[in-house]
Amino acid sequence: RQQRKFPDDFLFGTATASYQIEGAWNEDGKGENIWDYMTHNNPTVIKDVSNGDIAADSYHNYKRDVEIMRELSLDAYRFSLSWSRILPTGMANEVNPAGIEFYNNYINEMLKYNITPMITLYHWDLPQKLQELGGFANPYISDWYADYARVVFENFGDRVKHFITFNEPREICFQGYGSTTKAPILNSTAVGTYLCAKHLVIAHAKAYYVYDNEFRPTQGGQCGITISVNWFAPYTDSDEDHFATEIKRQSEWGLYAHPIFSSEGGFPKEFSQRIAEKSAQQGYAKSRLPEFTAEEKALVQGSSDFFGVNHYTGYLISATQNKVENPVPSMPDDVDAGTIVPEEWPKSASTWLTLAPNSILNALTDLKERYNNPIFYITENGWSTPPETGLDDDMRGTYYRTALESVLDTLDAGVNLKGYMAWSLIDNFEWMQGYAERFGLYSVDFEDPARTRTPRKSAFIYKHIVSNRFIDHTY
């Protein structure tokens, strides 16, 4: 087989998130966020009753983290800012200078070694004070968020040219507001998810226009959003399975992508109709899925310079075989379809994560058709192992090689894909799973106060691909 190369300007990196790595939860003026609050007040919601108080202690180890980026020959690094480290109460009237200084040091250290910083403004750690006002259920969140975004662009936009407003709206809204699988564990399936969905995409759009109007003219960067897009394919070729699959796609990612990237705007049609019907049957006078005003719809539509895709896996969707095997605890009640994972797909340490064949190619070509081929970045992709696996993570290496072959197929298919970020640089706090599932190319010793980082086998494989721009399956 002819050897295929990644383009020279293709951005290879890794990704992390503030609450998962930083620690220093109450140091130097940082305010409390919803993960601090939940893990301190409700510790048993976390599988190993742990929290991110210290995590990988990247707040104190950031220079070592940048050294790891150099060891991996990365072009780029995607990381998130802790809103409450910058604005302790969430509101822009009180900026914490130590928070700004920390991120300045971090960014400058990357730039010293030519590593392109990619900033996520929000990766799930809402300031607790804002949650007390309703968080994403309160429509004013979009204004508070836009004020926060302005502080970020003002302080870092001279050096940072890639901004991602939100990481994974579905996980924020469905898991946080519609279930108990992420903070703030509100479990308001019927309405919470959809209130959040509407307010979040408006918050995204307002921040986008803060960038576009006030900063882009002088800073010249890009601002986009990251949505989790796993691949859903019909279990059989029946019309029912095809329709169930489409509803599943609209509910999982279309709800967030369609208002921003489609030529139609607003929430996706079939899903909106379904929720309207269900709501009527359930005795609601109005649909549980809120509508956009014409003005809101226009504001949101087209408000992104790129589409960040977090992609991990795939599922088969069946209309009739209801929940034959359902590894996704996060199935909204509003989608009745069953989720099937074939036996032969390799399993990770996470219930929801298997190696689904060609899932990157399938997902990205679908998005390309739906949304007129915007600029894409894969902003997360990775594999989990149990802690016992240690450094011999052969399956993670296999996963990355397989995924990156699919990335090459995706480029061949004409998808406008510009980069790939592996999840993750280092082991970190895996949300409700605590430290029981590991995603790092480097392992972190969480028993050791120094939080020593050590490369796994997969780190050498990834580095080889990144620095040679092709996949050597014999390496």
Q: Quick count: other Cβ atoms within 10 Å of Cβ 176? A: 27
**Per-residue contact flags (x/-) with ligand GCO for residues 102 to 141, judged by CB under 6 A:** ----------------------------------------
Report the site for ligand GCO in 211-230 (rule: CB under 6 A).
Answer: 228
State which of residues 252, 338, 430, 466 lies at the interface with ligand GCO (CB under 6 A). Answer: 430
Nearer CB in complex with ligand GCO: 36/168: 168
User: CA-to-CA distance for 407 and 411, rounded, in angstroms?
Assistant: 6
What is the footprint of ligand GCO within residues 377-396 (CB under 6 A)? 380
Angstrom distance (rounded) from CA 375 to CA 80: 21
**Does 380 qualify as catalytic in the annotation?**
yes
Q: Of the two residues 228 and 251, which places its CB atom closer to ligand GCO in the complex?
A: 228
Does 17 bind ligand GCO (CB under 6 A)? Our answer is yes
Least spacing, CB of residue 379 vs ligand GCO, in Å: 8
Closer residue to ligand GCO (CB): 296 or 427 = 427
Rounded CA-CA distance 52/84 in Å is 14
> Shortest distance, CB of residue 236 to ligand GCO, whole angstroms?
29
Q: How far is CA 24 from the centre of its chain?
A: 22
Helical H segments across 157-228, by residue range? 169-170, 176-177, 192-210, 216-219
Q: Provide, rounded to whole angstroms, the least separation between the CB of residue 440 and ligand GCO.
A: 10
Question: Measured from the CB of residue 423, what is the shortest distance to ligand GCO in angstroms?
Answer: 5
Longest dimension (CA), the chain: 62
Cβ atoms of 26 and 90 within 8 Å: the answer is: no
Check binding of 208 to ligand GCO (CB under 6 A): no
How far is 338 from 319, CA to CA, in rounded Å?
Answer: 6
Q: Which residue from 311, 291, 300, 63 is spatially nearest to 170, judged by alpha carbons?
A: 311
User: Which pair of tokens denotes residue 78?
Assistant: 């995607």
By CB under 6 A, tell whether 423 contacts ligand GCO. yes
310 lies in the binding site for ligand GCO (CB under 6 A):
yes
| Site membership for ligand GCO, residue 168 (CB under 6 A) | yes
| Closest separation in Å from C-beta 167 to ligand GCO | 5
The residue from 32, 168, 171, 252 that is catalytic is: 168
22 binds ligand GCO (CB under 6 A): no
Instruction: Please tell me the distance from the alpha carbon of residue 406 to that of residue 409, in angstroms, as a whole number.
Output: 5
Query: Which tokens in the block code for residue 381?
Result: 């992709």
Q: Does 75 bind ligand GCO (CB under 6 A)?
A: no
Which residue, 97 or 329, is less far from ligand GCO as judged by CB? 329
| Residue with tokens 């996949």, as numbered in its chain | 471
**One of 32, 252, 296, 380 is an active-site residue; which one?**
380
Q: Which residues are CB-contacts of 213 (< 8 A; sequence separation ≥ 6)?
A: none
Binding to ligand GCO in span 24-53, by CB under 6 A: none
- Of the candidates 33, 51, 61, 167, which one interacts with ligand GCO according to CB under 6 A? 167
Distance between CA 194 and CA 333 in Å, rounded? Answer: 13
Sign of CA dihedral 15, 20, 21, 24: positive
Nearer to ligand GCO, 334 or 380 (CB): 380
Q: CB under 8 Å to 285, separation ≥6 — which residues?
A: none
Q: 168 an active-site residue? A: yes
- Positions annotated as catalytic residues are 168, 380
Where on the chain is the footprint of ligand GCO (CB under 6 A)? 17, 20, 167-168, 228, 310, 380, 423, 430, 439
